[in-house]
């Protein structure tokens, strides 16, 4: 197992290449505590699992959320405001009147401190950051750490830790995109399984409306053999058509300890996701004209998919969506893990 460090930009950005004993390589950067790429070299064939850009400048230019740690609060907050302890807080208005992914000074735009250790069967990488009181409108000084583990069992594991000196709002996630390659149209269908009986229909601006059953909708992805993702995205379901794909929260069902919340099967690899978070937002990169040149290949509509584990977006305005309040001096701790099998 090894770690290599290289310059990734002109403003103090570095990229770290973590490689396990099976040639699975995870590249991460202190800019946004983000995953730059995840690839596997096998039999002289490169399998891209998470595609990435070549520099920090490219992330700033093309998409600041790709691969990034998101916070303080992931997702949209309606009208960019919320109440806590009788006081109303105003956040950055990122999408029209709404806040999104922590605001302009969110975690994705910060330089994080980086340390790591190489252990017997894993590399343990730690990003840490202090978000000052009032940053993007959020109360309290928040100390946060994101731990990335790359293991010899071909697992990428994320652990979040945080503590605030005031009551605050906190709901982090990671915005890595996993390559599906749907535009390749191979004979092998991309299949998706999500163990969730409920989801959140949304308005056209992405704000969730309520929690509803997935039964008899395109969002019923519970089939044990998985659902054909291409067929799902071609559905005439009103919610699919609204945003040209999936950009919705799924409330995860209870599972056995060894049972994944999500699995994805592509022509090149299989992914299993485990999490202690109550829900995940699934986003299928829906913009038809938002092509990206990543890893020397064109990423087209629906070619990548994100699994953003979190409490449901806009929970501050819905009593039944979950809790995103982090109490003063309370320790926040959460884990999400992705396991990979290359075909």
Answer whether residue 83 shows pLDDT above 90: yes
pLDDT at residue 258, as a whole number:
92
Give me the active site residues, please: 175, 308
**Spatial CA neighbour of 79 closest among 69, 70, 92:** 92
Residue range 180-234, pLDDT digits in tens: 988 877 768 999 999 999 999 999 999 999 999 999 999 999 999 999 999 999 9
The average pLDDT across 45-51 equals 92
Q: In this structure, are strands 168-169 and 325-326 parallel, antiparallel, or unpaired?
A: antiparallel
Give the tokens for residue 16.
């770290």
pLDDT at residue 300, as a whole number:
92
Q: pLDDT band for 50, please (50, 70, 90 cuts).
A: very high
Give the tokens for residue 172.
């982090």
Number of domains composing the chain: 1
- What contacts 100, CB < 8 A, 6 or more positions away? 75, 76, 77, 94
Answer whether residue 177 shows pLDDT above 90: yes
pLDDT at residue 74, as a whole number:
98
**Spatial CA neighbour of 110 closest among 128, 89, 92:** 128
Q: Is 169 left (phi over 0), alpha (psi -120 to 50) or beta?
A: beta
Query: What percent of the chain has pLDDT above 90?
Result: 91
Residues of the binding site: 175-177, 247
pLDDT at residue 292, as a whole number:
87
Residue range 148-169, pLDDT digits in tens: 999 999 999 999 999 999 999 9
The average pLDDT across 7-12 equals 97
pLDDT at residue 44, as a whole number:
74
Cα gap 172→74, rounded to integer Å? 6
pLDDT at residue 38, as a whole number:
97
Residue range 254-301, pLDDT digits in tens: 999 899 999 999 999 999 999 999 999 999 999 878 788 888 888 999
- What are the φ and ψ backbone dihedral angles of 233, each rounded to 5 degrees? -70, -20
Residues of the binding site for beta-D-galactose: 175-177, 247
pLDDT at residue 183, as a whole number:
82
Answer whether residue 42 shows pLDDT above 80: no
Distances (CA, A) of 260 to 25, 158, 312: 23, 15, 19
Answer whether residue 170 shows pLDDT above 80: yes
The average pLDDT across 300-312 equals 96
Q: Which residue range is the domain that position 147 belongs to?
A: 2-342
CATH at residue 222: 2.70.98.10
pLDDT at residue 45, as a whole number:
81
| Mean residue pLDDT across the chain | 96
pLDDT at residue 99, as a whole number:
98
pLDDT at residue 195, as a whole number:
98
Residue range 90-105, pLDDT digits in tens: 999 999 999 999 999 9
């Amino acid at each position: 197992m090894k770690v290599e460090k290289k310059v990734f930009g002109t403003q103090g950005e570095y990229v770290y290449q973590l490689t396990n004993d099976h040639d699975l390589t995870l590249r991460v950067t202190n800019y946004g505590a983000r995953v730059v790429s995840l690839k596997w070299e096998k039999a002289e064939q490169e399998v891209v699992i998470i595609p990435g850009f070549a520099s920090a400048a490219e992330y700033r230019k093309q998409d600041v959320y790709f691969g990034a740690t998101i916070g303080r609060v992931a997702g949209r907050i309606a009208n960019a405001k919320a109440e806590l302890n009788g006081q109303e807080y105003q956040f950055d208005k990122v999408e029209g009147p709404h806040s999104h992914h922590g605001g302009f000074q969110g975690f994705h735009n910060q330089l994080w401190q980086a340390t790591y250790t190489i252990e017997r069967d894993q590399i343990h990488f730690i990003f840490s950051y202090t978000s000052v009181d009032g940053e993007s409108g959020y109360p309290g000084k928040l100390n946060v750490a994101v731990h990335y583990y790359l293991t010899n069992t071909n697992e990428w594991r994320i652990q979040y830790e945080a503590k605030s000196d005031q009551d605050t709002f906190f709901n982090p996630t990671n915005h890595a995109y996993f390559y599906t390659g749907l535009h390749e149209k191979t004979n092998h269908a991309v299949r998706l399984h999500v163990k969730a009986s409920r989801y959140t229909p949304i308005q056209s601006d992405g704000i969730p409306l309520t929690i509803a059953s997935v039964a008899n909708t395109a969002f019923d992805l519970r089939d044990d053999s998985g659902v054909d993702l291409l067929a799902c995205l071609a559905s005439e379901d009103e919610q699919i058509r609204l945003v040209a794909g999936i950009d919705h929260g799924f409330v995860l069902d209870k599972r056995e300890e060894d049972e994944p919340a999500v699995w994805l099967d592509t022509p090149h690899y299989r992914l299993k996701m485990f999490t202690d978070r109550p829900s995940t937002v699934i986003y299928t990169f829906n913009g038809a004209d938002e092509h990206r040149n990543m890893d020397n290949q064109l990423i087209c509509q629906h070619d990548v998919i994100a699994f953003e584990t979190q409490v449901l977006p806009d929970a501050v305005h819905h009593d039944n969506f979950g809790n995103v309040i982090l109490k003063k001096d309370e320790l926040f701790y959460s884990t999400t893990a992705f396991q990979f099998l290359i075909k």
